[in-house]
């Protein structure tokens, strides 16, 4: 018996069969006017085995959202997954996994050289004290160290 397909793409992904870290095209939508948006699953941690702590997630979100736009004007959003294992990168237009990997690598390299988390204050952030530059850099370093594995989604 086959389970019914769910509306949320990631709910249809067998999380027991993936092997983090990886980059995966999670969705592609063509809008009524013909524009295309794509969503990539940027998975840092192995689902149901490990996760990123919330200050790390929060800081990577701020750093990546700010720094990625220095490399591409097609970044629409970079959002954390509620399960704390990765992020969704949403881009305007068609992009190969190689192009996305280059963007992710360049941005995470910027994270490694950052001296502060952008907008980590009470004026610009809803929980400005919930950040860790060191934790974000450690996670970025670990993700970058496994770049050769990013295209291998399944074990």
**Cα separation, 108 vs 136, whole angstroms:** 9
The structural domains of the chain, ordered by start, are 16-148 (3.30.1360.80)
135 token code pair: 């934790």
pTM of the entire structure? 0.95
Give the tens place of pLDDT for each residue, 79-126. 999 999 999 999 999 999 999 999 999 999 999 999 999 999 999 999
Judge if the upstream peptide bond of residue 21 is cis by omega within 30 degrees of 0: yes
**Cα separation, 109 vs 104, whole angstroms:** 8
Mean pLDDT of the chain: 97
pLDDT-derived band at 3 (thresholds 50, 70, 90) equals confident
* Residue 136 neighbours by CB distance under 10 Å: 26
**φ/ψ of residue 86, rounded to 5:** 180, -160
Q: Looking at residue 12, what is its pLDDT?
A: 95
**Cα separation, 129 vs 60, whole angstroms:** 14
Q: Looking at residue 1, what is its pLDDT?
A: 61
């Amino acid at each position: 018996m086959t389970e019914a397909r769910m509306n949320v793409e990631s709910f249809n992904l067998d999380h027991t069969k993936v092997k983090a870290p990886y980059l995966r095209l999670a969705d592609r939508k063509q809008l009524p006017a013909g524009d295309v948006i794509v969503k990539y699953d940027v998975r840092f941690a192995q689902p149901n085995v490990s996760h990123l702590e919330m200050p790390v997630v929060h800081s990577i979100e701020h750093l990546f959202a700010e720094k990625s736009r220095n490399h591409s004007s097609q970044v629409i959003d970079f959002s954390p997954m509620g399960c704390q294992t990765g992020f969704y990168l949403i881009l305007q237009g068609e992009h190969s996994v190689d192009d996305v990997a280059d963007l992710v690598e360049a941005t995470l390299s910027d994270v490694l050289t950052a001296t502060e988390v952008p907008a980590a204050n009470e004026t610009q952030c809803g929980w400005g004290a919930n950040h860790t530059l060191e934790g974000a850099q450690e996670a970025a370093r670990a993700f970058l160290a496994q770049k050769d594995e990013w295209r291998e989604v399944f074990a």
